[in-house]
Structure 1
Amino acid sequence: MNDKTDMTTRQEGGALRTPTEREIILRPSVDIYEDSSAIVVEADMPGVAKDRLDIRVDRNSLTLEGEIAIAMPDGMRALHADVRGTRYRRNFSLSAELDTEQVEANLKDGVLRVRIPKRAELQPRKIEVRTD
C-alpha cells in the first residue's frame, strides 16, 4: 500500500492547500499495520462527525476524506471566526491481494479505523496432516 501524492502545496504548520481551492486540506496522521487476514489503516481525524466522513475504494485506490464542521448554537450567528471548517484527505494505493468488496470502517474518539481484508485465497491456512 502506497500513499499517493495529491496536487497540493504545503502551507505553514503542515497544512496542505490545493491550487484551485481556498480551503485548507490536512493530511491526517495514519498508522498502517498488517495481520494474517487484513491491512488496517488508522487515521487521526479529530472533529470529524460520521455524517461528514467519506471513504471510497475505487479499484486499487483508497480515499479517506472528512470535514470538520464548527456548529453554531441555535439563534447565534458568527460575526468573526478565527477558525474555519477544515478538510482531511488522504489517498492510498491498494495491493491486488486485498478484497476491496469487504472493507469495514469504524469512527471512534476521532480515530477512523479502516480494515481491508486479504482475499480469502491468499490468506494463510493450516494444512492437516494425516497418518495412514
Structure 2
Amino acid sequence: MAPPMTRRHQPGTALSGRSGEFADVYDQMGELLNAAFGGLGEELPWVPLADVYETKDAYVIEAELPGVRKDAVDIELEDRELVITGDIVEREGRGLFRRRERRTGRFELRTHLPGEIDPDGVQASLSEGVLTVRVPRSTTERQRRIEISD
C-alpha cells in the first residue's frame, strides 16, 4: 500500500488529462478555500511530483525538483512523517512571458511512512533534478514475549 501524499494544484497547469474548464473551476475553488481558510492571502505551497516505493529494506522517495540546488531543500523526519520543503526563486532579467509552466515559490511534500524506520540511517541525494531520499526500515524486532505477573 502506497503512503499518502498531499498534492496541491498549481494554477495554469494541466490536471492529469482533465479539461481546461475543469482546471479553471478547480483553481477558482482553491482560491475561495484559500481566502476562507488559508490565512490572509498567504499562498499555499505546491507539491512536487514524486514516487514513493518500498524495497525489502527501505522506503524510497524520489521527487522531481529540476533546477533546484541542494542548499535550497530542507528534509525533516518526525516520527514516521517525512517532510521535504524548499523554495524556487524566479530568475530575474527575463522578458515578457509568452508561456509559463515552470513552478516557482515555496514547495512542500509530506508523506507518512507506514512501517518502523531507522531515522539514523536516512540518506538523501540530488542528481539530475531528482531528489532521492532513502529511509531504511528498522532492523530491530518489535515482537517480544510478555510474562504474566502474579
> TM > 0.5 between the two?
yes
Report the TM-score range of the alignment, normalised by the length of the smaller protein.
0.5 to 0.7
* 1:66-98 superposed Cα distances (whole Å, 9 cap, x missing partner): 2112345xxxxx597757842221111123421
Q: Which amino acid aligns with 1:31?
A: D
Q: Which amino acid aligns with 1:43?
A: A
Q: Of 104, 113, 129, which aligns to 2:132?
A: 113
Offset of residue 113 of structure 1: 0.1
Residue 25 of structure 1: aligned partner: 45
Q: Of 31, 55, 73, which aligns to 1:35?
A: 55
Greater shift, 113-122 or 24-33, is seen at 24-33
* Residues 24 and 85 of structure 1: CA distance in aligned 2, closer, same or farther (over 3 Å): farther
Offset of residue 38 of structure 1: 0.7
Partners in 2 of 1:52 and 1:71 — Cα distance? Answer: 14
* Residues 4 and 40 of structure 1: CA distance in aligned 2, closer, same or farther (over 3 Å): closer
Q: Of 37, 59, 64, which aligns to 1:44?
A: 64
Q: How many residues align?
A: 116
Q: Which amino acid aligns with 1:68?
A: I
Runs of 5+ unmatched residues, structure 1? 73-77, 123-132
Q: Of 60, 69, 75, which aligns to 2:80?
A: 60
| RMSD, matched Cα | 3.2
After TM superposition, the score normalised by the length of structure 2 is 0.61
Runs of 5+ unmatched residues, structure 2? 16-26, 142-150
Partners in 2 of 1:12 and 1:52 — Cα distance? Answer: 24
Offset of residue 107 of structure 1: 0.6
Partners in 2 of 1:53 and 1:79 — Cα distance? Answer: 24
Choose between structure 1 and 2: higher helix proportion: 2
User: Secondary structure of 1:26's match?
Assistant: coil
Q: Which amino acid aligns with 1:2?
A: P
* Residues 58 and 81 of structure 1: CA distance in aligned 2, closer, same or farther (over 3 Å): farther
Note if contact 2:73-2:85 (Cα within 8 Å) is conserved in structure 1: yes
Choose between structure 1 and 2: higher strand proportion: 1
Q: What is the percent sequence identity of the aligned residues?
A: 29
Partners in 2 of 1:9 and 1:67 — Cα distance? Answer: 16
Note if contact 1:25-1:87 (Cα within 8 Å) is conserved in structure 2: yes
Partners in 1 of 2:105 and 2:48 — Cα distance? Answer: 12
Greater shift, 53-62 or 9-18, is seen at 9-18
Partners in 2 of 1:109 and 1:93 — Cα distance? Answer: 25
Residue 22 of structure 2: aligned partner: none
